[in-house]
């Protein structure tokens, strides 16, 4: 079921020795994000429910009392994860109904902010402590596979959202590459305006110039992809792989925004293809996506036309991922190819021979 309180924006793939992981950017309430655990920021030891802070959302949802009843220590005694107070965990499992504790980064008022007159240095050192804390928590079994956090550092420091995102993205990549049990980090923008600025900052960091206005699309492209929306939604109703289905819903959402990014869409579509192939084919370290597509084709006896669309989806995703060295850039027409391939995935999945394969 779709959640109206969150909207998927983009997924950034991170290649690690543990396999492919990702940084996902969403719009909405951090408490609505599809994650196992949250990382929130706070002034040293102050978790007061006020303003637009996530601490207010937490208080209203899980506590439900008058905000004036908040007292220091309400969430329990903070645990020092690596021996200092920059990063702590709070014993909120029972209150939140989660298996893992809440992680708090004391980004303001911590020991680094008292020692250094350089906000960016304070942010980087704080992230360094957060990274070490995640490693320690992973080893003790206190870290979930998917963690969510708001964009940190942009509102209370003297640098812009792009600098804040660059630091957070660097931290997230390091965490995913070095913490084995961590699979995804979600970064959340609360409002539509925040989401627009965050997406623009992300694309600037990625040197991505493939964002176009949806209004600029030719009518036949819009009619083609919109005509496939309902077919995808209908054919996916009895589909068993939740990851693939959610990926398809996110893909449709991405193409409905006023400003759409062709590379983001192609990368998202390729991740859907990869998840689907992994569900049906013989997975081995030597198997490439090209080989797995051919295995599916041989298994079902599908015509070359279907195989061609699946390969096109793979190639478009690879082109988007390696855009700087790519021989060509994606065009709006590629959107139609992407959605035809997604329909092809659903149609092949209905083949009885595919069910025998599982």
The string of pLDDT tens digits covering residues 85-136 is 999 999 999 999 899 999 999 987 888 888 988 888 888 899 999 999 999 9
pLDDT at 224: 96
pLDDT at 135: 97
With CA atoms as reference, report the closest residue to 11 among 272, 197, 193, 228: 272
The fold for domain 6-205 equals 3.40.220
CA distances from 57 to 36, 148, 191, 271 (A): 17, 15, 14, 32
Interatomic CA distance for residues 312 and 293, integer angstroms: 11
pLDDT at 283: 61
Q: Is the pLDDT of residue 266 over 90?
A: yes
Interatomic CA distance for residues 39 and 147, integer angstroms: 7
Mean pLDDT of 184-197: 91
Q: Is the pLDDT of residue 193 over 70?
A: yes
Interatomic CA distance for residues 310 and 289, integer angstroms: 10
- Pull the structure tokens for residue 330: 């994606």
Mean pLDDT of 298-318: 83
**Other Cβ atoms closer than 10 A to 269:** 27
Looking at residue 216, what DSSP letter applies?
A: G
Q: Comparing 190 with 287, which gets the higher pLDDT? A: 190
pLDDT at 154: 62
Residue 211 contacts by C-beta under 8 Å, 6 or more apart in sequence?
A: 203, 259, 260, 261, 262
- Pull the structure tokens for residue 86: 């920059």
Q: So where are the chain's domains? A: 6-205, 211-357
Residue 70 contacts by C-beta under 8 Å, 6 or more apart in sequence?
A: 47, 48, 49, 59
pLDDT at 296: 82
- Pull the structure tokens for residue 358: 């599982």
Give residue 156's pLDDT band: very low, low, confident or very high (50, 70, 90).
low
Give residue 44's pLDDT band: very low, low, confident or very high (50, 70, 90).
confident
Interatomic CA distance for residues 194 and 123, integer angstroms: 20
Q: Is the pLDDT of residue 51 over 90?
A: no
Mean pLDDT of 137-150: 96
DSSP element (H, E) containing 253: helix 242-254
Question: Which percentage of the chain shows pLDDT scores above 70?
Answer: 92
Interatomic CA distance for residues 106 and 41, integer angstroms: 6
Q: Is the pLDDT of residue 72 over 70?
A: yes
The fold for domain 211-357 equals 1.20.120
Give residue 73's pLDDT band: very low, low, confident or very high (50, 70, 90).
confident
Residue 279 β-bridge partners = none
Interatomic CA distance for residues 183 and 16, integer angstroms: 10
Q: Which residues of 71-88 are buried (b: 16+ CB within 10 A; e: fewer)?
A: eeeebeebeebeeebbbb
Question: Which stretches within 69-118 are classed as H helix?
Answer: 93-96, 111-115
Look at residue 258 and give its three-state secondary structure: coil
Q: Comparing 80 with 156, which gets the higher pLDDT? A: 80
What is the gyration radius of the CA atoms in the chain, in angstroms?
22
Look at residue 24 and give its three-state secondary structure: strand
pLDDT at 328: 83
**Taking the model in full, what pTM does it have?**
0.86
Average pLDDT, rounded, for the chain: 88
Q: Is the pLDDT of residue 183 over 70?
A: yes
Q: Please check whether the two domains, 6-205 and 211-357, share a CATH topology.
A: no
Mean pLDDT of 216-226: 96
- 48-52, 220-224, 299-303: lowest mean pLDDT where? 299-303
Mean pLDDT of 49-75: 88
- Per the listing, tokens 């812009």 go with 160
User: What φ, ψ does residue 175 adopt, rounded to 5°?
Assistant: -65, -45
């Amino acid at each position: 079921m779709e959640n109206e309180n969150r909207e998927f924006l983009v997924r950034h793939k991170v290649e690690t020795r543990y396999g492919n992981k990702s940084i996902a950017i969403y719009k909405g309430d951090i408490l609505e994000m599809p994650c196992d655990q949250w990382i929130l920021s706070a002034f040293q030891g102050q978790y007061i429910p006020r303003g637009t802070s996530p601490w207010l959302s937490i208080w209203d949802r899980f506590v439900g009392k008058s905000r004036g009843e908040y007292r220091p220590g309400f969430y329990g005694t903070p645990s020092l994860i690596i021996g200092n107070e920059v990063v702590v965990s709070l014993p909120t499992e029972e209150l939140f109904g989660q298996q893992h504790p809440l992680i708090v980064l004391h980004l303001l008022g911590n020991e680094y902010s008292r020692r250094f007159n350089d906000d960016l240095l304070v942010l980087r050192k704080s992230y360094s402590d957060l990274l070490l804390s995640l490693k320690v928590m992973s080893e003790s079994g206190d870290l979930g596979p998917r963690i969510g956090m708001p964009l940190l550092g942009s509102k209370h420091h003297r640098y812009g959202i792009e600098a804040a995102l660059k630091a957070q993205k660097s931290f997230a990549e390091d965490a995913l590459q070095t913490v084995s049990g961590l699979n995804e980090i979600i970064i959340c923008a609360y409002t539509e305006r925040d989401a627009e600025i965050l997406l623009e900052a992300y694309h600037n960091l990625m040197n991505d110039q493939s964002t176009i206005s949806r209004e600029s699309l030719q009518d036949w492209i819009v009619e083609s992809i919109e005509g496939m929306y309902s077919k995808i939604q209908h054919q996916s109703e009895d589909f068993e792989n939740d990851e693939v289905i959610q990926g398809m819903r996110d893909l449709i959402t991405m193409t409905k925004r006023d400003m759409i990014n062709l590379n983001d869409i192609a990368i998202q579509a390729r991740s859907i293809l990869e998840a689907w192939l992994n569900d049906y084919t013989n997975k081995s370290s030597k198997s490439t996506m090209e080989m797995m597509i051919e295995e599916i084709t041989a298994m079902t006896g599908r015509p070359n036309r279907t195989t061609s669309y699946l390969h096109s989806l793979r190639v478009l995703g690879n082109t988007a991922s390696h855009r700087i060295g790519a021989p060509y850039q994606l065009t709006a027409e590629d959107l139609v190819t992407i959605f035809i391939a997604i329909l092809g995935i659903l149609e092949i999945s209905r083949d009885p021979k595919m069910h025998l394969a599982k």
